[in-house]
Structure 1
Amino acid sequence: MADSFGATSTTDEVLAGVNLRGKRVLVTGVSAGLGVETARALAAHGAQVVGAARDLAKAEAATAPVRADAANGGGIELVELDLASLASVRAAADRLLDSGKPFDLVIANAGVMATPFGHTIDGFETQIGTNHIGHFVLVNRIAPLIASGGRLVNLASSGHRYADVDLDGPNFERTPYDPRVAYGRSKTANILFAVEFDRRHRERGVRATAVHPGGIQTELGRHVGEETLNAMLASINADLAKLGEPPFQWKTIPQGAATSVWAGAVARADEVGGRYCENCHVTTLITDGVITPVSEGVRPYALDPERAKALWAKTEAWVGESF
């Protein structure tokens, strides 16, 4: 049963008995980690996966397990996509639109974390530009391809608790750069984007949600040094000990990808639409109390519908395109 899934559930456990034959799914970021596992699990249950990646040669090698495990008519094809370049994003969207083939599910999985200060090709701070703005343009451009009954799943993070979005200074024009704050802003944006996309498309039967995969050791953390990581883990475990909780444990990649496939292919649409999910369930709001970096819960500002509308309007202005 769906309500029996939790933090340790894997993709294969979540999809047990689920037949995705005839379904078409777009997954961004299929050159490593969660993206590869997400694509593998979906193709193994019959889905035709379109995998998007910046480095097609790397993605071709990384997705060998997807092709090996594909069954019941499932498979994968690749499309080039650099989320840090709006020219690349628009070109990828045009290719998908030209094919005219609908999608039943879009999983915006790709992203970067805690990068040094820098900018995308279009001049946006790297993390907001890649994680939010690139996906915003891609998903909105291909929105007509998402069939009624389809879903959008945005990969967010508990890192959204680091910061709300800054609608007036997205590129750190007004504050010193902090990689964790930049990541937090981008992940809050991912959630708010799902909230507003859901509001705009639910009348035609398309729903959107945001998910936190949990703590997993993947390439996403390549910019976090070992010393910083060890200090972070020590602090987390100290907080957990005070609460009488066991030490933190990393999720495996199949456990980390489970919430994405649960929200996209297993959970009821009305259950997850416009919501934030983790550990294979819809999570709760957190406003006070003792909160560790690994506690469950979502900050109210990340689900604020007015904030979501404002971010949508600002992002349209930033990219010079209305949807």
Structure 2
Amino acid sequence: MTGPFGATSTTDDVLAGVTLTGKRILVTGVSAGLGVETARVLAAHGATVVGAARDLDKAKAATEVVRAQAAQGGSLELVALDLANLASVRACADGLVAAGKSFDLVIANAGVMACPKSFTADGFETQFGTNHLGHFVLVNRIAKLFAPGSRLVNLASSGHRFSDVNLDDPNFEHTAYTEFGAYGRSKTANVLFAVEFDRRHKAGGVRATAVHPGGIQTELGRHMTPEVTQAMIESINVANSAGGAPAFAWKTIPQGAATSVWAGVVAAADAVGGRYCEDCHVAEIVDGEGLRGGVRPYALDAENAKALWAKSEEMVAEAF
């Protein structure tokens, strides 16, 4: 069953009647919010979940609910991963490869949002370096572990509409930095990475997609003041009103994680492969300003995706 699901569907709705016993799934960012809920519902349906997090003590405490609800052979294993440090990313990937166990699904969930200008351990602008480059290296280093029929789900955002990637100045050395401009670049990169990974791997039966979880109140928004949040909601409502869409409404965490689970487990692979999904459906391509629904054309552009891949390899000094 692939629906009918929508904006208010929860993870439990999406996986009702689905058994994941025997499936092995990697989820990054399992120390809070969407990552914990994603791991919970997957383990509750029998999956073996490998949860990656920067702070393992925090993740262990946060995922008590995952272990408590694991059923039908479901389980959770935690591994260390700091996406803002490529030495940590490579160590995590090397450990997974050494273990030699394949994955049926990888959900690249972890990320940062709208933080002040700063840089990763490797000198990359923090949002692009963490949200995109960290996952780019991790996923490509473990690509051999993707089982036939498996999927990659990248968590993107409607925030991709803030900005296309800037491959001439990814670290804002010559461009004025804005928190949301940088966030937009990183989220567009998440979509483009899925597009190119899908193109490279679909002949081998491995597909990739990107998803927008919706607006959820989690730790991701810790850098946003109430005033900034309210201004953004008002901006969204203006765009939604102009497009005939309903007013903005916060999603619960189970509603926010539903699209990741739907795209990774329930939806048809050919329907979501190389696409961008929201509210448990494949999004339409929509141009124009504003943080409304749909995906900007530049985020699905195949040549843009290839160029980002090449630039990413150059930046991390590693070819895949």
Match 2:310 to one of 296, 310, 313: 313
Deviation at 1:236, TM superposition (A): 3.0
Counterpart for residue 81 of structure 1: 81
Counterpart for residue 174 of structure 2: 174
Counterpart for residue 188 of structure 2: 188
Deviation at 1:249, TM superposition (A): 1.1
Counterpart for residue 300 of structure 2: 303
Matches within 5 A, 1:156-171: 156-171=156-171
- Tell me the SS of whatever aligns to 1:176: coil
Deviations 1:180-209 (A, max 9, x none): 000000000000000000011111100000
Deviation at 1:247, TM superposition (A): 3.2
Deviations 1:201-251 (A, max 9, x none): 111100000000000000000001112112222333355456665432100
Q: Aligned pair in 2 of structure 1 residues 306, 239: CA closer, same or farther (>3 Å)?
A: closer
Matches within 5 A, 1:136-285: 136-240=136-240, 246-285=246-285
Q: Aligned pair in 2 of structure 1 residues 240, 322: CA closer, same or farther (>3 Å)?
A: closer
Root mean square deviation of aligned Cα: 1.2
Deviation at 1:2, TM superposition (A): 1.6
CA distance in 1, matches of 2:242, 2:277: 26
CA distance in 2, matches of 1:151, 1:244: 34
Q: Aligned pair in 2 of structure 1 residues 39, 300: CA closer, same or farther (>3 Å)?
A: same
Q: Aligned pair in 2 of structure 1 residues 96, 247: CA closer, same or farther (>3 Å)?
A: same
Deviations 1:107-150 (A, max 9, x none): 00000000000000000000000000000000000000010100
TM-score where L is the length of structure 2: 0.98
**Could you tell me which amino acid in structure 1 is paired with residue 285 of structure 2?**
L
Contact kept, 8 Å, 2:116 with 2:179, in 1: the verdict is yes
CA distance in 2, matches of 1:236, 1:106: 31
Deviation at 1:174, TM superposition (A): 1.6
Counterpart for residue 98 of structure 2: 98
CA distance in 2, matches of 1:56, 1:306: 38
Q: Aligned pair in 2 of structure 1 residues 153, 242: CA closer, same or farther (>3 Å)?
A: closer
**Could you tell me which amino acid in structure 2 is paired with residue 220 of structure 1?**
L
Contact kept, 8 Å, 2:235 with 2:290, in 1: the verdict is no
Deviation at 1:168, TM superposition (A): 1.1
Q: Where does structure 1 lack aligned partners over 5 or more consecutive residues?
A: none
Q: Which runs of 4+ in 1 moved over 4 A?
A: 238-246
- Tell me the SS of whatever aligns to 1:223: coil
CA distance in 2, matches of 1:247, 1:260: 23
Deviation at 1:98, TM superposition (A): 0.7
Matches within 5 A, 1:103-142: 103-142=103-142
Q: Aligned pair in 2 of structure 1 residues 203, 60: CA closer, same or farther (>3 Å)?
A: same
CA distance in 1, matches of 2:240, 2:145: 45
CA distance in 2, matches of 1:144, 1:37: 27
CA distance in 1, matches of 2:93, 2:250: 35
Counterpart for residue 12 of structure 2: 12
TM-score where L is the length of structure 1: 0.97
CA distance in 1, matches of 2:133, 2:245: 38
Deviation at 1:36, TM superposition (A): 0.2
